Amino acid sequence: MIDSLPPKAVIRAAEAERRMIEDDLSNQRILPDREIRSILAFCGFLEAAAGGRPFSFSKVADVPTEEWAFYGKIVQKLVESGELPLADKNRFEAVFSNPLQGPSDSVV
């Protein structure tokens, strides 16, 4: 769904998705499984990048390998449209592109 949105709507959609998931978690409508943690991490990255804030890479826990490429395409789309600077693509690649290395606890 998020990949079919115009670039200007992606970050707002990610913010809304994060809020809905957090509400579902707090009301125990869903469980914090691997997919949920992955979505929250990516939404958190997008929100931090769009706001020019640092992102704690320790939040990128357990992202399924098959989702790395999908997330990368979204970030590329946002960079190409000017919604995110190229530096954020580099930050994304440094953290999200190497699932074998595992997440870092650093903040960038």
User: Are the C-beta atoms of 88 and 47 separated by less than 8 Å?
Assistant: no
Spell out the domain ranges in the chain. Answer: 2-96
Residue 85 CB partners (closer than 8 Å, separation 6+): 79
DSSP state, residue 101? T
User: How far apart, in whole angstroms, are the C-alpha atoms of residue 52 and residue 49?
Assistant: 5
pLDDT digits (tens, 9 = 90+) for 83-108: 999 999 988 887 776 554 444 444 44
pLDDT digits (tens, 9 = 90+) for 41-71: 899 999 999 998 887 766 565 677 778 889 9
pTM: 0.82
Structure-block tokens of residue 64: 């399924």
Q: Say whether 31 sits in a helix, a strand or coil.
A: coil
